[in-house]
Amino acid sequence: MNIAEIRKQFPILHQEVNGHPLVYLDSAATSQKPRSVIEAVKRYYELDNSNVHRGVHTLGSRATEAYEGARERVARFLNAPAAEQIIFTRGTTTALNLVASSYASSVLMEGDEIVLTPMEHHSNLIPWQQAAKRSGAVLKYIPLQPDGTISLADVEKTVTNRTKIVSVMYVSNVLGVINPIKEITEIAHRNGAVMVVDGAQSTPHMRIDVQALDCDFYALSGHKMCGPTGIGALYGRKSLLEAMEPNEFGGEMIDFVDLYESTWKDIPWRFEAGTPIIAGAVGLAAAMDFLEEIGLENIDRHEKELAAYAYSKLSDIEGITIYGPREGRVGLITFNLDDVHPHDVATVLDSEGIAVRAGHHCCQPLMRWLDVTATARASFYLYNTEQDVDRLAASLLRTKEFFGHAIG
Ligand code: PLP
């Protein structure tokens, strides 16, 4: 991978922030966008913009082709069997809410079990809490090992024949750990449960094959993978999607409407009420083209190398705690410096042009498990370099100095 060439394609990276060249280390929150994605959205608005599935005019057909073409692009990216199994959503949050309301409400009964982990993002936690409250189902959690990994023996113990749904993140946005989703799926299926995967942090960084994973639902966010904000997707197993009721109603999703009764379109359109996020879908397709041109395997390798470099470089800083396992992680490092609040860490880094995130990362239960209220997090993507890590490490040393601690 030629990182210098890749960086040239991201206009936003070439600026100074607070008098320093920008080092963007917050891609787990949202990634930056390459010129090809920005241009695809611009081109769509300049040439093709119209509403979809209704106009008989030429722009209407072009917009519909672009939107449905984007659906096919997402299906190919995920190796889904058919484009009709891809529902466009606003992002992972909306996708998981759709499953937890539509699918879950039709299958969950009192006493059924929903199995999660304590590392889940609030997006893959609260929708299930609500589903459990509505149905009388119970929530169960696969315990975490001391290093934040999941043991399959614990999965075997937690998932039972009362479990109807297992919903787990593929990659943790805090611990960086890659969970054994294929194996968890196999255990879920052996117990008759459906497997839901939160793919918000995995899809941008590694090759995803929903058929090889054999999961039943898979959610992703476009903005974390070089695409625009406001667009994401839900992949679903065809038989499950076909049995699901929509959770939003209105234009675009109906077949026949009478004053007292209505019927729905086929999948996927029955789940896309109202005018969809057409330009977002076009941008997401362009992002997928961009990532595949570079190669997901190359991106994966580059980030793992960067993560290993960063882990060893940052571990040398006296008084730093890095959370999550050393091995088997993606390119993000969540940490705390002794006696310095993570918000202060992020503020000092920002003053040197380095963007990191600080807070609970939408994972309050995991913060409690780690026994902290917040952490700082540096997250890398295909455009980051070892020099970025060096700038981060040097700046952290100055942060310690600034707060009056010995330099490690
Ligand atoms: N799941 C994980 C693991 C995430 O990191 C995030 C976002 O940070 C989400 C879900 C929610 O994604 P979105 O805000 O794009 O819906």
Write out pLDDT tens, residues 192-217: 999 999 999 999 999 999 999 999 99
Question: Which ranges constitute the DSSP H helices of 1-82?
Answer: 3-8, 35-43, 58-78
Q: Is the peptide bond before 342 cis (omega within 30 degrees of 0)?
A: no
Q: What is the CATH number of the domain that holds 87?
A: 3.40.640.10
129, part of any domain = yes
Cβ contacts of 11 within 8 Å, gap of 6 or more:
35, 38
**Are 59 and 10 in a shared domain?**
no
Dihedrals phi, psi of 36, to nearest 5 degrees: -65, -35
- Is 31 inside any structural domain? no
pLDDT mean across residues, the chain: 96
CB of 222 closer than 8 Å to CB of 91: yes
pLDDT per residue as tens digits for the range 285-302: 999 999 999 999 999 999
As a whole number of angstroms, the distance between CA 142 and CA 128 comes to 15
Q: Which of 88, 92, 117 to mutate to test the pocket of ligand 1 (most atoms within 8 A of CB)?
A: 92
- What is the reported pTM? 0.97
Residue 141 resides in a domain: yes
Q: What atom of ligand 1 comes closest to residue 93's alpha carbon?
A: 16
The answer, yes or no, to whether any atom of ligand 1 lies below 6 A from the CB of 91, is: yes
User: Binning pLDDT at 50, 70 and 90, where does residue 76 land?
Assistant: very high
- Closest ligand 1 atom number to CA of residue 30: 8
Q: Quick check: CB of 163 below 6 Å from ligand 1? A: no
Count Cβ atoms below 10 Å from residue 124 Cβ, excluding itself.
Answer: 27
CA 175 centroid distance within chain:
14
Quick check: 336 and 320 in contact, CB under 8 A?
Answer: yes
Q: How far is the CA of 30 from the centre of ligand 1 (A)?
A: 9
Q: Is the pLDDT of residue 327 over 50?
A: yes
Residue 321 shares a structural domain with residue 357 = yes
What DSSP string describes 334-345? EEEETTB-HHHH
DSSP code, position 217: E
Nearest-atom index, ligand 1, CA of 224: 15
Res 405: pLDDT: 52
* Residue 173, ligand 1, Cβ within 6 A: yes
Final residue in a domain of this structure, among 265, 293, 321: 293
Domain count, the chain: 2
Task: Answer whether 200 contacts ligand 1 (Cβ < 6 A).
Answer: yes
pLDDT reported for residue 402? 85
Domain assignment of residue 306, yes or no: yes
CATH number, domain of 21, equals 3.90.1150.10
pLDDT for position 309: 96
Tens digits of residue pLDDT in 354-373: 999 999 999 999 999 999 99
User: Please, which residues bridge with residue 233 across strands?
Assistant: 88, 220
- Predicted pLDDT at 407: 42
Residue 189, Ramachandran bin (φ over 0: left; ψ between -120 and 50: alpha; else beta)? alpha
Structure tokens at 303: 């980030």
Residue type, 247: N
Tell me if 179 CB under 6 Å of ligand 1: no
Q: Does residue 364 sit in the same domain as residue 285?
A: no
Pair (230, 207) in one structural domain: yes
CB-ligand 1 contact for 198 (6 Å cutoff): yes
The catalytically annotated residue of 215, 226, 362, 363 is: 362
Amino acid 408: pLDDT? 44
**Ligand 1 atom nearest to 29, measured from its CA:** 8
Q: Do 233 and 369 sit in the same domain of this protein?
A: no
Compute the distance from residue 123 Cα to the ligand 1 centre, in Å. 7
Neighbours of 18 (CB within 10 A): 11
C-beta of 92 in contact with ligand 1 (< 6 A): yes
State whether 120 and 238 are in the same domain.
yes
Residue 352 inside a domain? The answer is yes
* Residue 283 and residue 318 share a domain: no
Do both 369 and 248 map to the same domain?
no
In a domain, 32, yes or no: no
Same domain? 230 vs 262 = yes
- Give the structural domain span for 74: 37-293
| pLDDT (mean) for 55-84 | 96
215 as an active site residue: the answer is no
Distance CA 279, CA 229 (A): 10
Could you give the maximum distance between any two Cα atoms of the chain, in Å? 74
Q: Which of 275, 293, 311 is the last residue of a domain?
A: 293
- Closest Cα to atom 6 of ligand 1: 200
Residues 146 and 285 in one domain: yes
Whether residue 203 is contained in a domain is answered as: yes
**Alpha carbon distance 331, 205 (integer Å):** 9
Q: 3-state class of 179 per DSSP?
A: coil
Q: Which of 17-21, 128-132, 404-408 has the lowest mean pLDDT?
A: 404-408
Q: Are 166 and 193 in contact (CB under 8 A)?
A: yes
Beta-ladder partners of 295: none
Pocket test residue of 119, 201, 218, 332 for ligand 1, highest count of atoms within 8 A of CB: 201
Do 172 and 321 lie in one domain? The reply is no
- The mean pLDDT value for 305-328 works out to 94
Last residue of a domain, one of 270, 293, 316: 293
Least confident range from 18-27, 76-85, 373-382, 399-408: namely 399-408
Mean pLDDT in residue range 29-38? 98
Residue 107 and residue 10 share a domain: no
- C-alpha 196 – ligand 1 centre gap (Å): 14
pLDDT at 404 over 80: no
